[in-house]
Every structure is written in C-alpha cells, then in structure tokens.
Amino acid sequence: MSPPASDSVIESVAELLAHALELEYASQAHYEQLADSMDVHHNAEVAALFRRLAMLSGEHAAAVAEHAGDLTLPRIPPWAFNWECPDAPEGADCLDPDVSYRMTTAEAIAVALHNERRGHAYYVHVAATATDAEARTLAAAMATEEVEHVALLEAMLTDAGGDQQRPAQDDLDPPHMPA
Amino acid sequence: MTAGDADSAVQRHKASIPSLKAKDYKSDVKPVWCPGCGHFGVLAALTKTLAHLALPPERVAVVSGIGCSSRLPAYLAVHGFHGVHGRALPLATGLKAARPELTVIAAGGDGDGFSIGGNHFLHACRRNQDLTYIVMDNEVYGMTKGQASPTTQPDWCRSKLTPHGTGIRRFQPAAIALAAGASFIARGFAGDPNGLTRLLAAAIEHPGFAFVQVLSPCRTFRPEQQAWKQQVHASELGPTHDTAQAAELIQRDDGLSLGLLYEQRIPLYAAGVAADAADDLTAAERLAAIEAEHCR
Amino acid sequence: MPGPRDASAPLTVAVTGAGGSGAVTAGLILLEAVAAAGLYGLLRRSAGPQIRGGESAALLRFGPEPVHCAGDRCDLLAALDWANHERFADEIPLDAGSLVLADPATGPPPAAVVESDTRLREMGFSSSAAERDGGRANMVAVGAAGALAGLPLAALLDAAGRTLADKGQAVVDAARACIRSGHALAKPEDRLREPVPPPPAVPQRWHINGNEAAGLGALRAGVRFVAAYPITPASEMLEWLAPRLERLGGTLLQAEDELASVNMLIGSAFGGVPALTATSGPGLSLMLEGIGLAVASETPIVVVDVMRGGPSTGIPTKSEQSDLNAALYGLHGDAPHLVLAALGIADCAHTVAWAVQLAWQLQTAAIVLSDQSLGQSRMVGEPAPATVPPVHHAAPGDDGPFRRYSVTEDGVSPMSVPGETGLAYTADGLEHDPAGAPSSRAADHAAQLDKRRHKLLAHDYGPDWAEITGAADAELCLVTVGACRGAVVEAAERLSEAGRAVRTVALRLLAPLKRQALLDAVGGARVLVVEQNHGAQLFHYLLAEQALPEAARALARPGPLPLRPGEIAAAAAALMDPDGGSP
C-alpha cells in the first residue's frame, strides 16, 4: 500500500545488515513455503528446487549474520524496512502471480530469477544511495554476490530448457473439495 | 530448526529480524492452499506480527470456522481451534472471557464471517471484547468450489449455483462493522504483507474489538482478482475517530482502499469480573455463603 | 371420597387468581410456613401466557415426609377470583372430598367447580381485607387456607415476614393482620388437619427450585463460565447464576443466540475454565452442531435442557419429557456423548455437578435433562449431598511431541490449555490424527471413533447411574427417568402397601446406557416404562438398546399435566392384573 518514500535511505552498516538479514530470511521463508506448497500438490521436482533455493537463502543469511559479528543491529518493525518496493525485494511477495501447482522447473527458476534480480537491484540502489560510505561499499559487495546468484539461476534455467513459455496445459480434473 | 539457527551470530541478532522470528510461530503442517493463494500472505503477515509484538506462542490462541482461510490455526505454532462453520467469533469470545490474559485472534473467510456467521459478526462488533478478527475476503466460497459469497458482485455469473449472478447487493463489511459499533476497522491486502503486518499489529494492540478485512485473492475461482495488486490504493480517509466522517467515507469507498479506516477507544466488554477483593473470604467460604441462601 | 384425615398423608392446597391478585405470593408464604412448621413441601406454579395480569395458580403439596410430586387431587382450593378458572380445571382436580373457598364478591363459581360436587365455602377475602389498612385478599386467603390445612398461625406470620421483608414493614404488618383475620374466618369443623404442633427445632432444609439447584450444582463442580440465550423455562437458572458467578470470580455472558452460546462454552473449556449453559428444547436444537464439535474436539461442555412442551415453540411454560430423542440422537455422525437426567429438584444439583465432573473426566459433551416441573417448582426438603470433588483435566504426558488425541488405554487423551508451553495444538472438528492434524484416512477415523466411544463405555460410573427402590424379586419394575421419579416412587409405595412387590429404577445416566446394570436391576420382573411424552421415547430407546425384558410396556403421556401417582399405580395394577382389580 504505502511504499516507503524513496528518500528513506540506508544510513549505516548496521541498518544495511538488518535489511540484508530480513531479506534473506524472508526469502528463505518464501521458498520454504513454495516448497511445502509444491509438496502438498505433488510437484516433487519443483518442490526440490524451492527447497534448494531456501537452503541457499539460509546460507546467505548465515553469511550476513557472520559479517554482522558483534554489531548491534537496529530493531525494525516489518513495515518499516526501507525497501524500494512495497514488499521485501527477494521474498515476501506472497501473491506469486506466476506460481502454479503444475509449474515446471523452468518456470520455478524464472520465479526465483525475478526475486534474485530484485534483490540485486536493491543492493545496487543502496550502493548508490546510502549516506554511509562503508554501507555503500558493503552494499556493492552484496550486489556482486547477487550477480553470482542470478548467473547461477540463469545457468540452471538454460539446463532446464530455457525461458520459453510452455503451452498451457489444461487440468483435466475439476477443483477438489477437501473439507 | 534451521541450520542458520545454530550460528551464534544469528542467535545474537535474532531479536531484530522479524522474518527469522516469524518461524517460531509456524507449525510444520503444510498448507493445503493453492500455490499463489492470498492466504499465504496473511499467514506470513500474522507470523511476522506476532514475532514483532514478541508475544509468547503459548499466550496466543487463533480460532477459526470453516473454509480455506479457516485452515489457518493448524499452520501456526500457537494454540488453535478449528471449529464449525460460522462460529469462530463465539468460540473466541468464550475463550477470551474465560482467559482474558490471552491474545485471542479469530480468523476466517467472507462466507464464514458474513453469511453463516453474520449475526455473530454484528454482536462481536457491539460487544467490544478485546479480540482481533481477521476476515480473508476473496468474494467467493473456495472450499465448496466457487459459489458466490456475501461480498460477491451481484452480476458474477461463474458459479453454477447462481448462473445469472446473485442479483443481490454486496455485503459491506466496513460499513456494517461501523454501524454495529466496532471500535477498530481496517482493510489490508494479502499482496502487501508488510503493510498488513502494520495493521495486524495495531489491531492486536487495540484495546477492543478490532476488525481487519484482508483482500485475499482466490487464484482458482477468481483469477481476475490478481488485478487487485494494481487496483488497491491507500485510503483517502486515513485513521479517523469520528464516526460520522468514517461512515460517509466508508460508504463512498470503492472497497479497495487500504489502511486503518476507523479507531475509537470505548469501554471494553467487562467479562470475567474478579471476585470482590475487598472481602477476604476464600472461594470455599463464598460458595458456602451461596449455599446458605437456600438453607432454612 | 373423604378428605385425607390421616395426618401423615400429604395435603394439596391451591390458590388461584388473576395476575396481580397475589396467588403466587400466597403460595410462597404457605411454603415458607410449611418450612417453619418443620414439614416438607413442594410448590408448583401454573400461569397463563400473559406477561402481567394473567391468571395464575400456586399448587402446594406438603406433609411430614418429603414430597416429590403432584398429588392425585386437590384437597383445598382458595379461589381469589374465577378468572379463566377453566384453564386450571385439569391441573386442580376437585372431587367431593375437596373444599373450595370462594369470595362471593367475585361472582358465582364456574360450572366445572359446581359440577365437581365439591364442598363450597363462601369467604369474604376482599371484604375482610378492606377492613385493614393496606389489606390484601390473598393474605386473608393465606390465613384461612393455612388454618384449614393445619399450619400454625405463628408459622404463617413468620412466613409472611420472611417473604415480604423487602416490601417494607407496613406491608408485612398489613399482611399479618389479614392472615390473622383469615385464620379466624376458618371454621374449626372445616379443618382438613388439626394444627401441627410447632417443632422443637426446625431442621435445616433446602428451600430451592430446580433451576437454582442446577445452578448450585454447577458452582459446586467448578463451573465459572456460563454463556446463554434467554429461554423459558431455563432463564431463572441463568438469573440465579449471574450474580453468584460474579461473587466467585466467574462470568455469565448473554449471547446473541444459542449457536453462539454453545460455541462460547467450547472456547471457555478449551481455555481450561469449566463452562455450562442452560436452555430448553428450541435452544437445544440450535446447539446440536456445537455439541457435536465438543464431542469431536473432545472439549468438555455441559448443556442443561430444562424441557418444556414441544415440538417447535410448543408449550413454553409447561413441562414435558419430550427432548429425550433430541438429546440422545440429535447429533449428526457417530457422536457418543453423555446424557443425564435430574431425578428431582434437589437432585438437579447433584446431577449437574456429576455431569460437569464426567464431562471433564471424559473430555466430552454432557446434556443434562431437567424440565419445567423441576426447574420452576420450589421445594422445602433435604439438601443434595455435596460430594463432588473439583474437576480436573488429564495432565499432559511429558515425553515426545504433544499428541492431544493419542489413543490411550482408557480412551482419554492428554489435554493441555493455553499458557502451557510446548503443548500447543489445534483442536479440530475435522477428523484428525492423534496429533490433531486433519485426516480423512480410514484408519484415523476408525481409531478416533473407537477412542471416543471407548472412553465413555469403559468409565466406571459407580452407583449413581440410577436410583433404585423396592425388592429385587419384585413382580413389577417401574422404569422411569427424570422428574417422573417422584410420582413413580409414590405409586410403587402405594402398590407395596397394597401387598404388591414393586421395584422402581429411575435412570440418571441415559447415555451411555448401563444396559447390563439395568437388566440386572429389573431381574425377572415385568417392566412398565413411565415417561411424560407422547412418543414413548424412553421406551423405544430402551427397546433399541435391548435393555428391556419381553412384554415390557410403556405408560407414556404427554404434558402439560403432571403424571400423578394414582394413574401410574392404576396402569401398573392393570399390567399385573389384566383381568381387573385395583390396588
């Protein structure tokens, strides 16, 4: 609803690290939710992919946490993070318009790519706008890492048969009534 | 527990990171919702809210009725009750009256809350007990396969049950809540979980009955609701304490405006009156005095 | 047929009049006087449908032994006026042995009274009252009726003081003056009883109606939350409970409807606070889905159904035992639950307290059947013994993840309440697995169904399942339920006095039915099932459960008139001696 004003900028390393941690944990939670959802809907292949992406996000989070060391991070309410967009750039866009229980691995990678590119864009934005020089440097380094993630996903996408849209398949069964 | 939790640095900064702590409020039951369902956003927002408010999970209870959204309690690691269709509010009311110190949240869908449970909605608004009521409104009955709900447009013809549309006017949740005396009325969007978190935190902290309508798109039966992402907008109203002003603006509203629409501090429902502290009788002595009323 | 001069036989005195005439107050004072005289009494009320100004009758039966039912006939009627008297004609059976006191100022008695061949005495209630400042005709009637019924003047005066205390001293003084006048108007030769000598010390007795007793039972058993919707004839139980719950730190919540109230109970019990509601037939129907939720989610709740004439709105102000089927069979699905019935006014306290205890021990719903004749009748009698220990819920096991619905040997699973760390679960009306997760698997459904049935069947209910009187080798056994017990026991006593060995079994626990215990109690006797409804609901239930011997019969009569000992004795005699003869 109300994106933070674009003039709300990162002012310290601690603030950046808090944002990075939130971003990675939200991303991890999002991928775990998608993996669970694909499990429930018997799409094992895509579930495994999202499970792997969740693990990667967890590892990123651990790396960021390690970087934080003994720094005291600010306590930020969920709605007060300085994202460029309404939601966390890499995670919590729960509407997932491109997600479906019948999605292919390639489609799932495309969803992940979208998220990782948003993450990258966020760090690039911070690297350019943070008022603290150290924060700008750190954000630039994080942006570089995100480039690697994006490259990894792009390679995976190629392996999975590329980005081309598969013709939509009809679900032959009507929606199901659980209870 | 995730691998990250074992990291000492993570442990040290846990308190600052909402999405990490949100996990503590999730159970290991996997949701049956369709991928892309708006309700995932509500689940994420609610767990983040509870984490932000640092409410101990054992002091929180989430009560629901029947429907897709009413599956919510099982997905949380707090105390839960998945009751019968339409009766989440009375069950929550009884729990809160019996255990006023608990944070009690009722949740459900538009059919559960506004149709079969409509009477309870009115009276819960009137009663102003310290409850939060989240209605995940997708303008359709999802679990029974896509029938029109009270909030469905009258000319929506895609249900076999009402092939010509319902032809009846839509239920206006915010206006009705206001008329029935609700002291907190907000509208959120499942596609904006962070904004929703802010509303839910305010609702839980509001001393009284807090009603949060969440526009929560149904992927399967109302695919056109994906457009809500572009259509929702901040309420021009902003939070108001003026009932007449709120009534006028809520009536003019297009139903897609988001934010805290109305909040008023009014006396709480006084349930659970404690025994008179002025006398020093024991419970047994009080009961004996009651028995003695009937002895001759 | 002469009036019963035997001083030990109970006497029935009725006071009738248009609303506002004070017939009900007169009855209350007479009941107080009965207590002050050291006697036992039962005061029933009958009223028209008007909120104010309708006709009403107070029907008092009293004697030196406990009184548990309406008598066969009326010994003494004090008619303050004849407003709509025909409505009471069936409820106040007059005969040649009856004495009727009538105020000539209110016109001639109706034809039915004249035709009953009763003894009529004109008595100027209103003219006598007019001689006193603030005098009321009903108080003159109290004095006259009290004198003829053998109640000491001192007891009547004392009773007026107690009953009218909150109306001020002037009202009490005027009432006492009128009682003295009435007492003097009564002719000694008309006396039905010689004055009772005042007791050396009045023994402590309960002065209570069934609705109050049921409320007291709830408080004794630890109920601290009540949610309810007003309904006749259960509302007085709620009105009694509201202030007293507050004194004990509890709450009564007036709900928007019965759908709400039953679910509020479930919420409270889920929170660990024992909860109860009171309703009547229409409310029970609305609660059935919620009761099923309590069964499936294994949440203890207690619903007291103060039965009235049905179906539909029926006869809201009068009694009937016609909700048995709804209570036993009303739930959808296989939903084993507890159904109990209070066997008397004081027993409302015991049965409700036992129901609360059982509901918590067995984590299920209990329906307690009372009825209008218990709920709204006031007795002076022996208190129900307070023997019920406080309720408790099973302590959660402490090893492994919490499995709220685990299948245990006795079928009762560990139960936690909010606030207990690490023991959170989601209670569910969906079928579930032992951990509480929704499941539609056949094995889970079978295991949970078995468990919910087993825990009820395996429980040791002790001797309270029924009240039994009479010899084991009786030739006839009267099987009954609820409020009928009083009349059934009295009928059996009469038959025994006439040399016929008759046993009675009054069921307090209807479901689960203690089938073998019932068959054992009946022994080789013939059985007559006695109940106050049109469809012989108890009889058919017992037949379906194969709990009756061959050739059992039913005496089933609908309300609103009470089943009287005489008609039960006659039906029993007819069963024992099909060729005629009476006890």
* Ranges A84-88, B8-12, B286-290, C1-5, most confident: B286-290
Residues of A in contact with B190 (CB under 8 A): 94-95
Closest Cα to residue C535, out of C323, C306, C328? C323
Q: Are residues C73 and C118 in the same domain?
A: yes
C219 and C120 belong to one structural domain: no
User: How big is the B-C interface in CB pairs under 8 Å?
Assistant: 192
Interatomic CA distance for residues C451 and C443, integer angstroms = 12
Q: Give the Cα separation of B63 and B90 in Å (integer).
A: 10
Measured between beta carbons, the chain C residues lying within 8 angstroms of A179 are 430, 438, 440
The answer to whether residues C418 and B59 touch, using CB atoms and an 8 Å cutoff, is yes
Task: Provide the domain limits for residue C423.
Answer: 394-459
Q: Is C559 exposed, middle or buried (0-12, 13-18, 19+ CB in 10 A)?
A: buried
pLDDT attached to residue A70 = 84
Which residue among C459, C480, C510 closes a domain? C459
Q: Residue C266 and residue B92: Cβ atoms within 8 Å?
A: no
Phi/psi at C466 (nearest 5 deg)? -155, 160
Comparing CB atoms, the residue among A61, A94, A101 nearest residue B191 is A94
Subunits with at least 3 CB pairs below 8 A relative to chain A? B, C
Q: Residue C389 domain-assigned? A: no
Provide the CATH number for the domain around residue B90.
Answer: 3.40.50.970
Radius of gyration of chain B (CA): 21
CATH classification at residue C245 = 3.40.50.970
Instruction: Report yes or no on B202 lying in a domain.
Output: yes
Using a CB-CB distance cutoff of 8 angstroms, which residues of chain B are in contact with residue C293?
Answer: 83-84, 87
Is the residue at C234 inside a domain?
yes
d(CA C308, CA C302): 19
pLDDT of residue C4: 45
Residues C135, C127: Cα–Cα separation, whole Å: 10
Q: What CATH number is attached to the domain comprising C473?
A: 3.40.50.920
Domain-ending residue, one of C415, C430, C459:
C459
Task: Find tokens 């596609």 and name the residue.
Answer: B191
* Pair C179, C112 in one domain: yes
In angstroms, the separation between the Cα of residue B285 and the nearest Cα of chain A is 50
Helix A13-40 vs helix B39-53: crossing angle, to nearest 10 = 140
Smallest CA–CA separation between A100 and chain B, in Å?
6
Please give the pLDDT value at position B2.
39
User: Encoding tokens for residue C84?
Assistant: 């709509």
pLDDT digits (tens, 9 = 90+) for C443-472: 999 999 999 999 999 999 999 999 999 999
Strands B103-109, B79-82: pairing is: unpaired
Contact in structure between C303 and C276 (CB atoms under 8 Å): yes
Question: What does each C-alpha distance from C146 to B177, B222, C19, C42, C77 come to in angstroms?
Answer: 60, 78, 21, 15, 11
A45, A50, A95, A171: best mutation site toward chain B, by most B Cβ within 10 Å?
A: A95
Nearest CA in chain B to C201: B296
Q: Is residue B18 part of a domain?
A: no
Same domain, residue pair C368 and C232: yes
> How far is B61 from B78, CA to CA, in rounded Å?
6
CA distance B35 to chain A (A): 6
For the cut 70, the answer to whether the pLDDT of residue B12 exceeds it is: no
Query: What residues form DSSP beta bridges with C78?
Result: C15, C101
Question: Which of B8, B14, B16, B237 is the best residue to mutate to test the A interface, defined by the most A CB atoms within 10 Å of its own CB?
Answer: B16
Q: Name the residue among C538, C338, C377 with its Cα closest to residue C42.
A: C377
- Report d(CA C228, CA C251) in Å as an integer: 11
* Amino acid A1: pLDDT: 33
A99 in reach of chain B (CB within 8 A): yes
Surface of A (150-179) touching C: CB under 8 A? 179
The answer to whether the CB of A109 falls within 8 A of the CB of A13 is: no
Amino acid at B293: E
The answer as to whether C358 is a domain residue is yes
Confidence of residue B128 (pLDDT cuts 50, 70, 90): very high
Tally of domains in chain B: 1
Interchain contact, B198 vs A29, CB within 8 Å: no
Residue ranges and CATH numbers for the domains of chain A are 13-159 (1.20.1260.10)
What phi, psi does B7 have (nearest 5°)?
-70, 125
Q: Is C301 helix (H, G, I), strand (E, B) or coil?
A: strand
Question: Largest alpha-carbon pair distance within chain C?
Answer: 84
Q: How far apart are the C-alpha atoms of C192 and C476, rounded to whole Å? A: 34
Q: How many domains does chain C have?
A: 4
Same domain, C177 and C40: yes
pLDDT tens sequence across B189-239: 999 888 999 999 999 999 999 999 999 999 999 999 999 989 999 998 777
Please give the single-letter amino acid code of residue A58: G
Q: Which two tokens stand for residue C114?
A: 């004249």
The reply to whether B124 touches chain A by the CB within 8 Å rule is no
Rounded to the nearest angstrom, the minimum Cα separation between A91 and chain C is 28
What is the distance between the alpha carbons of residues C157 and C220, in angstroms, rounded to a whole number?
34
Are the beta carbons of A68 and A138 closer than 8 angstroms? Answer: no
CB-closest option in B74, B98, B275 to C248? B275
pLDDT at site A6: 44
Is B17 part of a structural domain of the chain?
A: no
Residues C303 and C447 in one domain: no
Q: What is the DSSP string of A22-88?
A: HHHHHHHHHHHHHHHHHHHTT-HHHHHHHHHHHHHHHHHHHHHHHHHTTPPPP---GGG---SSSS-
* Strand locations in C432-501 (E): 466-469, 476-481
Same domain assignment for residues C229 and C283: yes
Residue C347's closest CA among C387, C310, C319, C296? C387
Q: Which domain holds residue B112?
A: 28-268
Tell whether B116 is within 8 A of chain A (Cβ): no
CA B264 from chain center: how many Å?
18
Model confidence at B66: pLDDT above 80:
yes
Peptide bond into C434 cis (omega under 30): no
In a domain, B8, yes or no: no
The answer to whether the CB of C151 falls within 8 A of the CB of C82 is no
Closest residue to B32, CB basis, from A61, A66, A178: A178
Task: Give the DSSP letter of residue C51.
Answer: S
For tokens 């309810």, what's the residue? Answer: C228
What pLDDT does A171 receive?
77
Q: Which residues of A touch B188 (CB under 8 A)?
A: 1
Q: What is the mean pLDDT of chain B?
A: 90
* Range list of H helices, C308-432: 324-329, 347-362, 372-375
Same domain, C244 and C166: no
Domain check: are C179 and C296 in the same one?
no
Q: What is the pLDDT of residue B8?
A: 42
Contact C393, C272 (CB under 8 A): yes
Chain A residues close to B193, C-beta within 8 Å: 78, 87, 92, 94
Q: Please state, as a whole number, how many other Cβ atoms lie within 10 Å of the Cβ of residue C37.
A: 27
Domain match, C337 and C422 both: no
Please report residues of C whose CB lies closer than 8 A to that of B274: 249
Residues from chain B that touch A62, judged by Cβ atoms under 8 A, are: 3-4, 7, 9-10
Q: Which residues of C touch B272 (CB under 8 A)?
A: 249-251
Q: How far apart are the first and last CA of chain B?
A: 65
Chain Cα centroid distance, residue A12: 22
B16 located within any domain: no
The model's pTM is 0.95
Q: What is the mean pLDDT of residues B67-75?
A: 96
- Complex ipTM value: 0.94
Q: For residue C438, give the chain A residue with the closest CA.
A: A179
Contacts of A69 in chain B (CB under 8 A): 9
On the question of pLDDT at B245 being above 60, the answer is yes
Residue A89 has pLDDT above 70, yes or no: no
Say how far apart CA C71 and CA B250 lie, in whole Å: 66
| Residues of chain C below pLDDT 50 | 1-4, 582-583
Helix axis angle, C210-220 relative to C235-247, nearest 10°?
Answer: 40
CA C10 to chain centroid, in Å, comes to 20
Contact residues, chain A, for B201 at CB < 8 Å:
77
Residue B283 falls within a domain, yes or no?
no
Residue B1 has pLDDT above 70, yes or no: no
Q: Is the pLDDT reported for residue B273 higher than 60?
A: no
CA distance A29 to chain C (A): 22
C188 contact partners, CB below 8 Å, separation of at least 6: none
Confidence of residue A87 (pLDDT cuts 50, 70, 90): low
Put simply, the answer to whether C293 touches B93 (Cβ < 8 Å) is no
Tell me the nearest-neighbour CA distance from A143 into chain B, angstroms: 21
What is the structure's pLDDT at A9?
A: 82
Long-range contacts of C414-417, Cβ-Cβ distance < 8 Å, separation of 24 or more: C415/C298, C415/C363, C417/C270, C417/C271, C417/C272, C417/C393
Q: Could you tell me if residue C43 is inside a domain?
A: yes
B223 and A CB contact within 8 Å: no
Q: Residue A178 — very low, low, confident or very high, per pLDDT cuts 50/70/90?
A: low
Does residue B281 belong to any structural domain of this protein? no
Q: Write down the H helix ranges in C152-209.
A: 153-163, 169-185
Angle at A149 between CA A147 and CA A151, to 5 degrees: 70
* B288 found inside a domain: no
